[in-house]
Amino acid sequence: MNQKQQTMFDKIWDAHFVATRVDGRDLIYIDRHILHDLHAPHAFEKLAAATRAVRRPDLTFSMQDHTVATKPGRDENTNPDGAHFQRAMREGSQRNNIRLFDLDDPEQGISHVVAPELGLVLPGSMHAVPDSHACTVGGLGAIGLGCGTSELEHILATQTIALKRPKTMRIWLDGELKPGVGAKDVSLKIIAVLGTAAGRGMAIEYAGPVARALPVEARLTLCNMTIEMGARSGFIAPDDSVFAYLAGRPYAPRGPEWDDAITQWRALASDEGCVFDKDVRVDCSDLAPQITWGTDQSQTISVRDTLPILPADTEARTKLERAYAYMGLEPGTALHGVKVDRVFIGSCTNARLSDLRIAAGIVKGHRVHESVVAMVVPGSTSVKRAAEREGLDRVFKDAGFFWGESGCSMCAGGNGDRGKPQERVISTTNRNFEGRQGKGVRTHLAGPELAAACALAGYIADPRDYLETAR
């Protein structure tokens, strides 16, 4: 019989197919399930009420990240609003025999940052988190699935998720990135070109020279942003750089099993000549640093470009007018030079060690502008310690940055870290929705290079100007 050419997504899906339910959904096996403090307590409660057991506590892990304070020396009461979530998380995890990375654990952090660095997530695996940015781990060649609270409970009870098979999409990234331009710029560009709903019902594979050339941590950044196109998941075929990244990680296979794993992982790539439901190309060769100006991620421009003028079409016009009003900006003017109040470097998008190195490279030897409040919140406690070993904390602190304990922090403000109304925040996070970082807060998303440059300049700045002086 003819072997059909398969996409990487279809291979992983088929390898995790358990059964088809009477309602037509496929039960897909979940290899690793990571919970967090914001949504797990509710599911624990419902599970207990239904007297259902957790099927595979050994494949389940708990992370305190969403509600934790970032203040040095924190404990659960530092953010009083978070204390009951963290306590419920602790109790639920204990009761169900789930390994918890608690507040004081040396490996605590944002789940999407911790799972890769501990080798909890592996290529070819199905990974679920009750958080839409589960797709981050696609950077290692895994399929990350975000889920709701009911689905979380379902996975706890069955170790499977019931889904309809998503369609496949490939985004081929042409070109070569210039200095000062990184994975975040690529992802913002893609959303600007394709729109925030382009990935609906899709699993997106990133391919092409740009995806291949990205270091592993940058691939995690690119895949992290996939959900902002409304996709189910995003991933990149694993290669030697991924294997090198995973080798020796605490939960990664070892010895002969490691060799077997690599053989299987090499076979994951989409077959030559396979067909995607949607196949697009985005040219990144002349890509400049990107920054969002509005209230969704498609409202993105190159940092030196002027803001778009209002279109004639009334529907589109109303939307833009509203974004301009909220952001306090004028169509047709320059974004470069607009005053900045706050800079946040953190989140599961851009707070891994490589991000902090990039930002520190720009900050080193300079001071944060006097009118800017700037903070760095490492993506995990491991990242924090590694950064401290390299002296990055000193670079940031000497410049006037706040250097925090790990957690989600200002990304969604779930721990009380928020901006003030009308404040303009340059943020390395993933959502610039109205009010996301506090009521009336004007969020501009960008990469760590651009955010660092803005902290020094006090206005929206071009990181390439700072690369020059750094050399």
Partner 1 sequence: MKAFSRLTGIAVPFLEDDVNTDQIAPIPTKRSLKPDYREMFFHRARRHGDDTLNPGQVFNRPQFASLAILVAGRNFGCGSSREGAVWTMQAMGIECLIARSIADLYRENCLQNGLLPIELPDDLASDIERRVIEADGRAPFSVDLTTQIISGPGGADVHFDISAADRMRLLEGLDDIGLSLKHAAAIAAFEHKMQQASPWLQRAVRAPGTEPSR
Nearer to partner 1, 153 or 462 (CB): 153
State which of residues 415, 430, 437, 443 lies at the interface with ligand SF4 (CB under 6 A): 430
C-beta atoms surrounding 50 within 10 Å: 9
d(CA 365, CA 274): 51
Toward ligand SF4, which CB reaches closer, 335 or 408?
A: 408
Judged by CB under 8 A, the number of residues near partner 1 is 83
Q: Which of 160, 226, 290, 347 binds ligand SF4 (CB under 6 A)?
A: 347
Residue 145 in the binding site for ligand SF4 (CB under 6 A): no
224 touches partner 1 by CB under 8 A? no
Q: Tell me which stretch binds partner 1 (CB under 8 A): 147-155, 270-278, 303-311, 359-367.
A: 147-155
Q: Which does 110 bind (CB under 5 to 8 A by kind): partner 1, ligand SF4, none?
A: ligand SF4
131 counts as binding partner 1 under rule CB under 8 A: yes
- How many angstroms separate the CA atoms of 224 and 146, rounded? 11
Residues contacting residue 337 through CB under 8 Å, at least 6 positions apart: 459, 460
Please identify, among the stretches 35-43, 216-224, 347-355, 386-394, the one whose residues bind partner 1 according to the rule CB under 8 A.
Answer: 35-43
Judged by CB under 8 A, the chain residues 150 through 179 that form the site for partner 1 are 150-151, 153-154, 157-160, 162, 164
Q: Which does 96 bind (CB under 5 to 8 A by kind): partner 1, ligand SF4, none?
A: none
- Binding to partner 1 (CB under 8 A) within 255-294 occurs at 257, 260-261, 264
Q: Is 222 in the site for ligand SF4 (CB under 6 A)?
A: no
Q: Give, rounded to a whole angstrom, the gap between the first and last alpha carbons of the chain.
A: 60
Q: Does 66 bind ligand SF4 (CB under 6 A)?
A: yes
Of 135, 136, 142, 137, the C-alpha closest to 8 is: 142
Residue 124 contacts partner 1 per CB under 8 A: yes
Asked if 133 interacts with ligand SF4 (CB under 6 A), we say: yes
Interacting residue ranges for ligand SF4, rule: CB under 6 A: 65-66, 110, 112, 131, 133, 347-348, 408, 411-412, 429-430
